[in-house]
Amino acid sequence: MAFGRLSLEEHFRQLSAPELAEREELVVEASYLLRDRFQAMEVWEALGMPAAACARWMRESGFQRSWQAQLFSRIVPSIRAIGLWGPRVREAYAHMGVLGLAQVDLEAVAAEDERIARELERGARS
């Protein structure tokens, strides 16, 4: 993870303003798609249920909030670290309620992931 961040950070520093804006727009679109993937609008519509109300319920559910926090706790600080942190990206993350995750310590997250992986590996061997 750290290698990718370092490589991308160097690459993005060399981009022109229009190229950087294009990458930031991609980040925003992809982030909204990730956030909205479990709202299942098409499913609710196919079932004849009020899709907007069902999607709102999904968006506000504990599962969705937990999943979103877990997912974006890795994405947001990584996007910030590689330099795709323009006003459009920050505005989108503020709108999604995940802007504060930019302060997450990615090294600590990676260390915790490794600790969990070691525990799982030990458990699988027992």
Tell me what pLDDT residue 20 has: 93
**Residue entry with tokens 């899709």:** 51
pTM above 0.75, yes or no: yes
pLDDT tens readout for residues 57-112: 888 888 888 888 888 998 999 999 999 999 999 999 999 999 999 999 988 888 88
What number of residues does the chain have?
Answer: 126
Q: Rounded to 10 degrees, what is the CA torsion of 51, 57, 60, 64?
A: -80
Domain boundaries along the sequence of the chain: 2-34+65-125
Q: What percent of the chain has a predicted confidence (pLDDT) above 70?
A: 98
Residue 84 DSSP SS3: coil
Q: What percent of the chain has a predicted confidence (pLDDT) above 90?
A: 49
The CA distance from 57 to 28, in Å, is 23
Q: Which two tokens stand for residue 51?
A: 């899709």
**Where does 15-61 have alpha helices with state H?**
17-36, 41-46, 51-60
Q: What is the mean pLDDT of the chain?
A: 89
Asked if the model's pLDDT at residue 2 lies above 70, the reply is: no
| Contact predicate 15/23, CB 8 Å | yes
Asked if the model's pLDDT at residue 3 lies above 70, the reply is: no
